Structure 1
Amino acid sequence: MKLLRFGPVGQEKPGMLDAQGQLRDLSGVVDDISGAVLSDAGLAKLRALDPTELPLVEGTPRLGACVGEIGKFCCIGLNYSDHAAETGASIPEHPILFMKANSAISGPNDTVMMPRGSTSTDWEVELGVVIGKTAKYVGKEDALDYVAGYCVVNDVSERHFQTGLTGQWTKGKSCDTFGPTGPWLVTRDEVADPQALTMHLDLNGTRMQTGSTATMIFTVAEIIEHLSQLFTLHPGDVISTGTPPGVGMGMKPQPVYLKKGDVMDVAIEGLGAQRQEIGQDA
């Protein structure tokens, strides 16, 4: 299934795509794509529906983040061997973890607003993992059973805020609109192997990132195992699993960063595509 949320900011309704790619309204069945809806039982209930009997949504409404009421937005840094190489970083011994503020979460096609003082806003296409049931002390052999589904994330990053200001990476990762998520959540039964997905990001029509989850240093299962030893993962938590090479800060002979009016096109095989125009806070 492909589950999504549509409507104005703060008023999103739950929906699903039917076999013809048409948007169907789920608001008469569930309140949101969140919490218990993401459990195996909750997803089975939705899977049993006949989409053609659900109200058809006309037009092209705004899409919100594909998960509502996200509890934690966990992100893994330097998790692709080829990305680590382009930044000159050593291969980490354990997954590098930072948190992205929930106020950064936005729809997949919403405008990304560079904050005041931004000089180095960058892009990062990433595989998002949505947790479907409570996970604590989970082994990697069972970890994927705790996944509700997968989605596209653009981990937008302000590099000066991230590395030039005293403190943690969170400063450069958490600016408003820096977490486009979606367009939809693809349930895990439709993703045969999360470690075999191609991905790319284009800037103004030019391919900047091309990669595959096959080059992850830590697999989705290993990430869930590691995080669940540290704290409990809850239904609706999202894990953004790192980016392949081709980010702006790694460009030679000098970095390339976003500017007002730029357009990013972001996609992962089987998970859909995003498009964001860049704006600038006054």
Structure 2
Amino acid sequence: MSQHTPGASDNTTRVAPPPRAPRSYPAQKPTDVYLFGTCVLDLFYPDAGMDTIHLLEREGIRVHFPQGQTCCGQPAYTSGYTDDAREVARAQLKLFARDWPVVIPSGSCAGMFCHHYPELFAAEPDTLKQVESLAGRTYELAEFLLEVCKVRFEDSGEPVKVALHTSCSARREMGTHMHGRALLAQLEQVERVDHDHESECCGFGGTFSVRMPDISGAMVRDKTAALKGSGAAEVVSADCGCLLNINGAFEKQYDRLRGEHLASFLLRRSGGKTTGAQS
């Protein structure tokens, strides 16, 4: 990264954008999609990436994974390195040029594509058109499965109580926390239990956990205490960054409870079977 004072190129105070307005969905399932894997999924939860691919392929969709993809640019962006984030984003734009949906198993990276890329390229009209097209065809995984694929899962597992943790971006930027709930509700033997601090951050926040470790640590202790107190036997989340933080805290606490990515949980519980709506 270039060496400059964070935020020096952008003196405006950033606030989280409002949740996305209700969007229209295609009448038919696409035959092809791009998958943006995210850094954390690629490095720490590759099985969740493969499970995402299996879920999509099971719906008769060809999944394309551009090998040149890297970071979405969010760590640089939220740290104030706007110019660097723009160049990272520009590199991603070249990889998703065809008019296929982009599916992202992460609310935070999907939020970056949908909300913050248009901010980054607001002063470049030609590029902005490309960015707005990308934003319009980007879906968080749970939203895509529910609204576009219209999946109906058949539960093949034993009865279990599950707590769902939703990332801040999925809840507040993408508005997709209800999609995760709806997918879990399709599994007859799965009981989703509410927990205290459900709408609160787990403390990860990307670079926030590095820059403010004491505050981050206190937040994840509150989060894990609430999850353990819920009576859930399993924890599910659609964001690998949150899972990395929550599971790390569980491990440090010598607790056997662990979180699993939503894609892996859905694939495991449905035993390889879904009944998607016919296009």
Shared fold (TM-score, shorter chain, > 0.5): no
Q: TM-score, normalised by structure 1?
A: 0.27
Q: TM-score, normalised by structure 2?
A: 0.27
Structure with more contact order per residue of length (Cα contacts < 8 Å, sep ≥ 6) = 1
